[in-house]
Amino acid sequence: MKQLALAVAVLSLSLLATQPNQATKRWWQHVVALSGDDLQGRDAGGEGYRKAARYVVTQFERAGLKAAGEGGYYQSVPLHEIRLVPRDSSAELVRGQTVTPLRWLHQVTIRMREPMPNRIDAPLIFGGGGDAPQGLDMRGKLIVSLNGHAPPAIAADALGAISIDNPNALEPPHWPLQYAVTMRLAETPAGKPAPLALRFNPAEAELLFQGSGHSYKELADLAAQAKPLPWFALPSAFRASLQSSAADLKSDNVLAVLPGSDPVLAKEYVVVSAHLDGYGIGEPWGADSIYNGAFDDAAYVATLIDLAERLHDAHKTLRRSILFCVVTAEEKGLLGSKYFTAHPTVPKEQMVADINLDQLRPIFPLKILTTLALNQSTLGDTVKTVANSMGIKIQPDPEPERNLLRRSDHWNFMQIGVPSVGFIFGFEKGTPDEAAYREWYAKRYHSPLDDLNQPWLPEAAAKFNDFFNRLVETVGNADARPQWTAQQPLH
Ligand SMILES: [Zn+2]
C-alpha cells in the first residue's frame, strides 16, 4: 500500500510539472481537432483533408481574419497522382527454378511515374564504388546498390536502379511504407519518364544476394568501414507486374489575412505558413493504418490559429498585414506552396517574409532553435534578437547534409525572392535531448505513431508558440522589411 501511495504521489507530481497553461490547452484543442482519427491523416485530395481545411477556415473566421484566397478562404490546387495498387500487383525474384515472391511496400517499393510499365523482367547487377568495369553490359538491367553508396554513374541504357535503404540513416525508413504515390501539379507537364527507381527493405536484402557468393551483411560492413564496394552480377532477376491508378484531384490551400494598421506598410505581407496535409491512410502498423501527422504538421497549423486568436483577443493589429498560408500537398513534394507561389493571391513583391512552421517537435525543453536560412537575410538577425530576449539560443543548421532547407514550404517562397526562415528544436550533442530527437525520427516520423498519444512537453510547446508570436509581431511592426544578405538560393 505504501509503495502504491508513493507511486501515486510521484505520478501526480510529474503530471503537475507538465500541466499545460491556458494558452497551451487551447492550442492543444486545435491539435486534437486536426489530428483525430476522424480526419484520416489529412491526405491531400481526400475527405479528411477537406474537413480539416473547413475547421481551419472556421477558426480563422472566428478570429476575425479576412479571406485571402480565390473568391473566399480557399485556393483550389489541381493535382494529378499516380498510385500503385499493391493488391493487384506482384513482384518476385527468379533464380533458375527458384521463385521468391516479394510483397509490395513490405519488401520492395517503386517510385511511381507516368507512364508506368505494366511489367518488369530484368537481370540484376550489384553496382559498387567507382566506375563500372570496362565492357559491363547494363542494357535492360536493374543496378542494385546500397543507399548512400550508389555508383556515380550508371549506363543510360540501364533499366533503372534498386536502392537498399540504409537502416542506420539519420531518418531511418519505416517498413512497411505507407503507399507508393507520386503527385504533381496538374499544370506541370509529366515530362520524360525517369529511369525506374525501386527501393528494397534492408531487413530483407539478403534475398537479393542468394547464390551470388556475396552477402548483404558483407557489403554493408564494407560500406560502414568506407571500403570500396565491388561490382558483380547477381544470379537473380527481378520480375513484377504493376497495376496503377491515375487520378486528377483538387485540394485547397487556406489563405487568410489580418490587415495591417499602417497606411503604407499594410500593403506589405508577412507570410506565416504551415502544411495541413499528412500521409493519410497507408499500410497498417499493427492495427493502426492512420498516419495522423500530429506534430507533422497539425500542431503547427494549430500555432497559426493560436496566433490569430491571440491577436484577436488582444484587439491587436500589426503595421504590416499578416498572410496566413495553410498549404496542401507538402508531403507530396511541396506542391501547395509551389502552386501558391506560382499563383499568389497578393502581389509577389509585397510578400516581405515567410516564417514557416514544420519540422518542429516539442518533445524536449526549448533551449536552442536551429534556424534554416539563418544567414541568408536580415530576417535571421530579427530571429536572433527575439530568441535571445527569451533565453533561446539560435544556431544555423548543424546537419545541412539532410537538406532540410529544401524540404519544406519556405523553400518555394525563397524561390520567388521572399526572405524566409524555418525552425527545428535544437540540442547539444550527446544529451538526452538529442536522444529524444533521434528517437522521434527513428520511430514516429511519417508513421502512425505521430499521433495524439505520444508524449510531449507543454512548456516546450508554449515557449515556441510565445517565441513565434513575438517574432511575427516584431517583423510585422518593424520599420524596414527584411533584406537578403546572401545570394537568394535557387534550385
Ligand atoms: Zn512536415
β-strand partners of 238 = 93, 122
Closest CA to 420 of 466, 484, 347: 484
Separation of 9 CA from ligand 1 center, angstroms?
Answer: 38
Separation of 274 CA from ligand 1 center, angstroms?
Answer: 8
Separation of 417 CA from ligand 1 center, angstroms?
Answer: 22
Residue 17's pLDDT band (boundaries 50, 70, 90)? low
* Residue 236 neighbours by CB under 8 Å, 6+ apart: 93, 94, 95, 100, 124, 208, 210, 211
Separation of 11 CA from ligand 1 center, angstroms?
Answer: 33
How confident is the model over 219-262, as pLDDT tens digits? 999 999 999 999 999 999 999 999 999 999 999 999 999 999 99
Separation of 157 CA from ligand 1 center, angstroms?
Answer: 36
Residue 491's pLDDT band (boundaries 50, 70, 90)? low
Packing angle of the helix pair 47-62, 22-35 (nearest 10 deg): 150
Closest CA to 169 of 351, 470, 403: 403
pTM of the model: 0.92
**Rounded mean pLDDT of the chain?**
94
Separation of 296 CA from ligand 1 center, angstroms?
Answer: 5
Distances (CA, A) of 439 to 122, 123, 361, 369, 434: 38, 38, 12, 18, 8
Separation of 293 CA from ligand 1 center, angstroms?
Answer: 8
Separation of 278 CA from ligand 1 center, angstroms?
Answer: 8
Separation of 279 CA from ligand 1 center, angstroms?
Answer: 10
How confident is the model over 114-157, as pLDDT tens digits? 989 999 999 999 999 888 888 899 999 999 999 999 998 888 88
Whether residue 269 is predicted with pLDDT greater than 60 in this model: the reply is yes
Separation of 254 CA from ligand 1 center, angstroms?
Answer: 16
Separation of 38 CA from ligand 1 center, angstroms?
Answer: 20
How confident is the model over 403-462, as pLDDT tens digits? 999 999 999 999 999 999 999 999 999 999 999 999 999 899 999 999 999 999 999 999
Separation of 462 CA from ligand 1 center, angstroms?
Answer: 19
Separation of 216 CA from ligand 1 center, angstroms?
Answer: 33
